[in-house]
Amino acid sequence: MKTIRLCILFSGTGSNMLNLIRTLHLREFIDERDCVCRIEIVATLCNNPQAKGIQALQEFHIPCLVLSHKGLEREVYDALLVREIRRYEPALCVLSGFMRILTPIFTQHIRAINIHPSFLPHHKGAHAIRDSFESPQDFGGVSVHWVSDELDSGAIIAQEKLPKVAGESLEDFEARIHELEYKLFPQAILRALALHTRS
């Protein structure tokens, strides 16, 4: 059976990462040739030594490399990141709340996708949920896209709008965004890998 290897990069609680592990890790899917393939998350990498997701990973016995960016120039850090990722030979690298603006040293050498909590191209950047919530638009959303040299601008793999609810708080809106992320992200990864679920 063919194994498709993934690496996940994260910076915080790792909630999306943990959802991906639960929905995809060691599960079997069908490729374009109707062959059975197994997805294996072979490693995770984190740039934040205090990230809560590091401890949460322990129950899954998946390696977690903590590689702090502190004191390093952006290009130097990205070169280290690329070197470590290549050790695992992943078919795809998944950015799951990885709070770094990546340079071409990364983007031109690693095949990667990213999840973003807005309906791109609206509300790029680190404060997308708040910016979306405060905008006059009647929707928010979630997008999964290929990582490119320009921030939050790669080709869209999957995205979905989330209608706003009159009178809801930012916290409630954010919770609904996260629920949509948990649904859309695994679907987008399967689409990026040209896989589908077994019937």
- The residues annotated with a catalytic role in the active site are 116
Q: Where are the alpha helices (DSSP H) in the chain?
A: 15-24, 52-56, 74-87, 104-107, 128-134, 170-192
Dig out the tokens for 118 from the structure. 């807005």
Burial 134-146 (b: 16+ CB within 10 A, else e): eeeeeebbbbbbe
The C-alpha atoms of residue 4 and residue 40 are separated, in whole angstroms, by 6
Collapsed DSSP state (helix, strand, coil) of residue 138: coil
With CA atoms as reference, report the closest residue to 185 among 79, 41, 36, 83: 41
**C-alpha atoms less than 13 angstroms from C-alpha of 81 in its C-beta half-sphere:** 33
Q: Give backbone dihedrals phi and psi of 94, rounded to 5 degrees, phi first.
A: -115, 120
Whether the CB-CB separation of 67 and 81 falls below 8 Å is answered with yes
